[in-house]
Chain A
Amino acid sequence: MKEKEIKIFKQRKISKLRKKEEISFYLFILPWIIGFFLFSGGPIFATLGISLTDWSLFASPHWSGLSNYTRLFTDPLFYKVFVNTLYYVGGRVALMVTISLLAAILLNQKLPGITVFRVIYYLPAVITGVALSTIFVQLYRPIYGPFAYFFSKVGVPAPSWLIDEKWAMPALILMNFWIIGPNTVIFLAALQGIPKTLYEAGQIDGANFLQQFFHVTLPMLSSITLLITVITTVESFQVFAEPYILTRGGPNYSTLVGALYIYRNAFKYFNLAYACAFAWILLLIVMAFTGVQFLLSGHWAYYAARRE
């Protein structure tokens, strides 16, 4: 009898502590909760509502049910945008994740002056957006631009980059080489967190560099790689300034990606409702992508400190 009483007493005490922790938790995340309702959550649900009307900013909205969605699915441009977006996101993520990983490995070597290199590799990432795009318009300029000149020197016919529909998207993806900085730094920190003992053990066993890379480095980096991949993916779906300034979605719609399509419909044609409908579909796609990525790598995750 007494044992049971003690047990209940203990549970009550624990639940009191738990409650206290819960309240503290909510206090700590209070800023986010307020912000969510005011600035992100509220507006998001508003857009869902808008997508079910025919609001065009010039007239008052009328209910129109799912007609925007049906229009989307019968619009060939929608599929083009869909494919473009996947192309861009896939290319960008592949480029950024692999190159930053490689760069991090290179920059992790104990060479004198390596810090200087790290600074240089991060530096261009500080210039993104309007400025970077403006600069790259000049770099990609046909005939008179440095890239065109470089190609002509090498003897290869220069593509017309931004006005050639086969090359416009690769040109946009290529630009991201310059902003690998932040990802590289994160990989660098992770690399430095791998205990040296693992490598030493591998060397004793006679493993060469490549084997060490695949059996020690990569698995230890798996959780960080997942993190970076997910974040880069989500980011890539939202890229707007570069296509907007460099190609405006052309040539022949080859660089019309999701964010640009939303912008165009909302701000150029003022078909607000249509833009919202499309944006919601895009959101669902991003969520699906992220979900799949997490599922595929669920059992590889590994955290240094974990408490149950």
Chain B
Amino acid sequence: MINNSSQKLNINWKKIIYRMLLYGILGIGAIVLIFPIIWTGSLSLKTYSNVYRIPPRLIPNPVVWSNYPEAWNFFPYTRFLLNSLLVCSLCALGDTLSSSVVAFGFARLRSRGKNILFALVLLTMMIPYQLIIIPQFLVFKTIGWLNTFKPLWVITFFGWPYFVFLFRQFFMSIPFEFDDAARIDGCSLWRIYWNIILPLSKPALATVALFSFVANWRNFLAPLIYLSSYKKYTIALGLSLLNTRRIAETPYIMAVAMIMILPPIIIFTFVARYFLREISLAVYK
């Protein structure tokens, strides 16, 4: 009896130390990861001269809240923000829909030439964007889509290699029994895709939607080239407008940056539950 309880005590100690170690490591990592955001906030509330101070202070003194409205008024940032929201939402929609459709073809159907085509998909993933932007620009000029948002989001409705890849991997891990069952029931391929595979793919859908939104949120080169009209600028382009030393001091740039990172973070908090909880690829429901 005494042996049992002392053994139990030993195990509990080990477990506690183990847990504390884990929390410790995770905690340090978490602080390091969050620090840049905190520092941005701190800088955004400083006076310009406090930026150049040793030792650097985390809490500004004085706290200059007015940096935010002043920086925001430099350019029509609200407009830029709304533009970005519009474009990125469309992109997220386009990417999830089109890439999953294409991936369904690659994951579920057999055909001659399928492997070659897939290799081609991978190939296009390897092409640096800076390379094709000029011929692409000429294409869009011929169609007459310059100075519209269309070049930014329409291409996402045609499949994006990286997402096709992701979706395909995910689909291939869904057992074929579902498809077979549906086929026996007489479902068409499209129904299988829409009513069975998609609902099972919530984690992948969430990941791709978030990824697409974020990637387009920060995209800078394409908006620069395609959007002439000032009122159509996206927020990433807007941030770059401040990045000239002739206009704004560091606190203003940080203030705009702070607001710029908020929408992706907010969307993330809504979407995170789909892929950060206990996700398993075993969705036998």
Residues of chain B lying within 8 A (CB to CB) of residue A31: 98, 101-102, 157-159
* Chain B residues whose CB sits within 8 angstroms of the CB of A296 once the complex forms: none
Q: Which of B102, B122, B257 contacts A131 (CB 8 A)?
A: B257
User: Which residues of B in the span 119-155 have a Cβ within 8 Å of any Cβ on A?
Assistant: 120-132, 134-136, 139, 155
Q: Is A218 an interface residue (CB 8 A)?
A: no
Q: Are A119 and B276 in contact (CB under 8 A)?
A: yes
A213 CB–B CB distance under 8 Å:
no
Q: How large is the interface on B (under 10, 10 to 19, 20 to 34, 35 or more residues)?
A: 35 or more
- Decide yes or no whether B5 CB sits under 8 A from chain A: no
A210: chain B residues at CB < 8 Å are: none
- Shortest distance between the CB of B57 and any CB in chain A (Å): 10
Asked if B245 is at the interface (CB within 8 A of a chain A CB), the reply is: no
Residues of B within 8 A of A27 (CB): 105
The contact string, 1 if C-beta is below 8 Å from chain B, for chain A 108-128, is: 010100010111111111111
User: Chain B 79-119 against A: per-residue CB contact (8 Å), 1 yes, 0 no?
Assistant: 00000000000000000001001101110011110100100
Asked if B275 and A189 sit within 8 Å, CB to CB, the answer is yes
User: Which residues of chain A have a CB within 8 Å of any CB of chain B?
Assistant: 18, 21-22, 24-29, 31-32, 34-36, 38-44, 46-47, 50, 103, 106-107, 109, 111, 115, 117-132, 134-136, 138-139, 143-146, 149, 177-178, 182, 185, 188-189, 192-193, 227, 231, 234, 237-238, 240-241, 245, 258-259, 262-263, 266-267, 272, 275-276, 279, 282-283, 286-287, 290, 303-307
B36, A178: Cβ atoms under 8 Å? yes
Q: Is the CB of A275 within 8 A of B131?
A: yes
Which chain B positions have C-beta within 8 A of A25? Answer: 105, 109-111, 114
Q: Are B257 and A44 in contact (CB under 8 A)?
A: no
Contacts of B128 in A (CB 8 A): 237-238, 240, 258-259, 262, 279, 282-283
Identify whether the interface residues of A are mostly helix, strand, loop, or mixed.
helix
- Contact yes or no, A32 B26, CB < 8 A: no
In the assembled complex, which residues on chain A have CB atoms less than 8 Å from the CB atom of B276? 115, 118-119, 122, 185
Interface locus among B59-67, B70-78, B210-218 = B210-218
Q: Nearest residue in B to A276 (C-beta to C-beta)? A: B131
State whether A29 and B124 are in contact (beta carbons under 8 Å apart), knowing that A103-B29, A305-B174 are contacts in the complex: no
Cα-based distance from A28 to B168 in the complex (angstroms) = 13
Contacts of A40 in B (CB 8 A): 124, 127, 132
Q: 4 closest pairs, A vs B, by CB?
A: A35-B158, A129-B218, A28-B105, A43-B135
Given A123-B265, A262-B130, decide whether A42 and B139 contact each other with a Cβ distance below 8 A: yes
Complex contact B130–A240 (CB within 8 A): yes
Asked if B272 is at the interface of the complex by the 8 Å CB criterion, the answer is yes
Cross-chain contact A44 with B53 (CB below 8 angstroms):
no
Give Cα distance in the complex from A128 to B157, angstroms: 23
What is the bound-complex CA distance between A136 and B254, given in angstroms? Answer: 11
A182 in complex: contacting residue of B30, B136, B157, B207, CB < 8 Å = B207
Q: Is the CB of B23 within 8 A of A283?
A: no
Closest Cβ of chain A to B122, distance in Å, is: 7
Per DSSP, are chain B's interface residues mostly helix, strand or loop, or mixed? helix
If A135-B257, A272-B134 touch, whether A122 touches B236 (CB-CB below 8 Å) is no
Nearest-CB distance from A308 to chain B (Å)? Answer: 9
Chain B positions within 8 Å of A189 at CB level: 203, 275, 279-281
- B30, B169, B214: the one contacting A126 at CB < 8 Å is B214
Q: Chain A's nearest CB lies how many Å from the CB of B257? A: 5
Q: Is the CB of A22 within 8 A of B280?
A: no
**Cross-interface CB contact of B54 among A134, A149, A262, cutoff 8 Å:** A149
CA separation between A21 and B132, bound complex, in Å?
A: 34
Interfacial residues, chain B to chain A (CB-CB below 8 A): 19, 22-23, 25-26, 29-30, 32-37, 39-40, 43, 51-56, 98, 101-102, 104-106, 109-112, 114, 117, 120-132, 134-136, 139, 155, 157-159, 162, 164-165, 169, 172-176, 189, 193, 203, 207, 210-211, 214-215, 217-221, 236, 239-240, 243, 250, 253-254, 257, 260-261, 264-265, 268-269, 272, 275-282
Report how far A130 CA is from B126 CA in the complex, Å: 22
Sample 25 A-B pairs with CB under 8 A, ordered by A number: A21-B109, A22-B111, A29-B117, A31-B158, A32-B158, A34-B158, A36-B124, A41-B124, A44-B132, A115-B276, A122-B276, A131-B257, A139-B39, A146-B39, A178-B33, A189-B280, A234-B125, A245-B243, A263-B130, A267-B130, A279-B130, A283-B127, A305-B172, A305-B173, A305-B175
The distance in angstroms between the C-alpha atoms of A21 and B40, with both chains bound, is 54
Closest to A125 in B: B214
A8-B237 Cα distance, complex, nearest whole Å: 64
A238 to B127, CA, bound (A): 8
Complexed CA–CA distance, A39 and B160 (Å): 11
In the complex the two chains form, what is the Cα distance from A28 to B279 in whole Å?
28
A231: chain B residues at CB < 8 Å are 162, 165
Q: Cα distance A266–B101 when bound, in Å?
A: 35
Partner of B132, one of A43, A131, A145: A43
A117 to B277, CA, bound (A): 11
Instruction: Report A-chain residues with C-beta under 8 Å of the C-beta of B110.
Output: 18, 21-22, 25
Nearest chain B CB to A288 CB, angstrom units = 10
If A18-B110, A29-B106, A32-B164 touch, does A117 touch B30 (CB 8 Å cutoff)? yes
Partner of A193, one of B132, B162, B257, B282: B282
Q: Which residues of A contact B23 (CB under 8 A)?
A: 111
